[in-house]
Amino acid sequence: MGNIGFNYQKTPFRYISRWKDGEWSEGVLTEDNILHINESSPALHYGQQCFEGLKVYPTKDGKLQLFRAQDNAKRLNTSCRRLLMPEIPESMFIDACKQVALANLDVIPKYGIGETFYLRPFVIGVGENIGVKSATEFLFVVFGLPVGTYFSDGLSPVSFKTSDFDRAAPNGTGSVKVGGNYSASFLPKKEAVKNGYADCIYLDPKTHTKIEEVGAANFFGITHDNKFVTPTSNSILPSITKYSLLYLAKNYLGLEAEERDCFINNLKEFKEAGACGTAAIITPINAIAHEDWVHQFESGEIVGEVTQKLYDTLVGIQFGDIDAPEGWITVIDK
């Protein structure tokens, strides 16, 4: 995989549309990467903000494609509804992603170097406001940038530590992709990194006994009898990668796959484990530290056999080397 990591860089064009008087304006591409918004915007004070993350994948035959972009559009709209923001029509979301990819063709990584062009769509509440209430004007922006891997350099296992902090409340906003969940994670992540871990693992906010998220990614484990298992909870972000892996484990690899509780005190049921997400792709987990003990998975510092197969299948589909299930791929016509 590439080694440019996951860092901001300005790329030539981004897409912007404004909601005013009940409708979205026709989106435009602009070279300006600075937003000019009112100092009292609810996005700045009350976190009225949500976002998505998806990637443009270059294929061997020179095409560009999106992976399950309709699902990102749907999830953005779920987040918008939760924060009382206007939804983005799915066709507008896909069109904006395509426009940003095509306008930035010169900086989209080539096939074969393991890099992709990460798109960051977001919606923010803007305009004059001071009371705790929703904005009446909104911006929908999509920008993009080349990225490599998020957690580690390539498909190499890393270790995580559980946090005493919660990233979301039991009936809060954990299942939507809103900025507040992420700013709440800066401190726990900083503490985990300071102690030599890649990030922290969040346990369920009610009982602190079940694994919920691995930093900004979902968790999965592979049991000793090769079952793919991933947690379920209403404070976990419904990861598109996770749902893809559930499907691929069953239908491409012939494994049993299920969503169920994953207890932190029963990690020994898994021989392999990983973090999955758009940015994280699949990041194998070497060890998890909790309270005063550390559990090392059997696969340890090498990539487990099932994790490797899942990775090869997922990434093969994303880059167009393996046939995708119907509806998963949107080709961007150049």
User: What is the gyration radius of the CA atoms in the chain, in angstroms?
Assistant: 20
* Tokens, residue 187: 């401190």
Select from 17-25, 130-138, 273-281, 320-328 the region that touches ligand COI (CB under 6 A).
Answer: 273-281
Residues 114 and 1 sit within 8 Å (Cβ to Cβ): yes
Residue 157 binds which one of ligand COI, ligand PLP, none, with CB within 5 to 8 A depending on kind?
none
Q: Which is nearer to ligand COI, 245 or 279 (CB)?
A: 279
Q: Pick what 275 binds: ligand COI, ligand PLP, none; C-beta below 5 to 8 Å, kind-dependent.
A: none
Angstrom distance (rounded) from CA 108 to CA 106: 6
The label of the residue with tokens 């064009």 reads 13
Q: Which residues pair with 295 in a beta bridge?
A: 288
Task: Find, among 143, 138, 113, 118, the residue nearest to 127 by Cα.
Answer: 138
Please give the helix or strand (H or E) that residue 76 lies within, else none. Answer: helix 69-82
Q: Which does 218 bind (CB under 5 to 8 A by kind): ligand COI, ligand PLP, none?
A: ligand PLP
Q: Which residue is nearest to ligand PLP (CB)?
A: 277
Q: Which residue lies nearer to ligand COI by CB, 83 or 255?
A: 83
Selected from 278, 286, 299, 313, the binder of ligand COI by CB under 6 A is: 278
Asked if 211 interacts with ligand COI (CB under 6 A), we say: no
202 residue type, one letter: Y
Cβ burial of 208 (10 Å; 0-12, 13-18, 19+) is: middle
For ligand PLP, give the closer residue by CB, 115 or 213: 213
Task: Using CB under 6 A, pick the residue from 27, 53, 58, 109 that binds ligand COI.
Answer: 53
Looking at the Cβ atoms of 125 and 179, the one nearer to ligand COI is 179
Cα three-residue angle 135-139-144, rounded to 5 degrees: 145
106-165 binders of ligand COI (CB under 6 A)? none
Least separation in angstroms between residue 89's CB and ligand COI is 21
Q: Taking CB under 6 A as the rule, does residue 216 contact ligand COI?
A: yes
Residue closer to ligand COI by CB (options 255, 279) is 279
In whole angstroms, give the CA distance from residue 37 to residue 125: 10
By CB under 6 A, tell whether 181 contacts ligand COI: no
Three-state SS at 24? strand
The nearest distance, CB 236 to ligand PLP, in angstroms, is 7
CB 222 within 8 A of CB 306: yes
* 53 versus 157: smaller Cβ distance to ligand COI: 53
H or E element in which residue 58 lies = strand 54-58
Listed residue (4, 33, 291, 257) closest to 143, CA to CA? 33
Q: Which residues bind ligand PLP (CB under 6 A)?
A: 53, 213, 216-218, 237, 239-242, 277-278
The nearer residue to ligand COI, 216 or 314, going by C-beta atoms, is 216
Positions that interact with ligand COI (CB under 6 A): 53, 216, 277-279
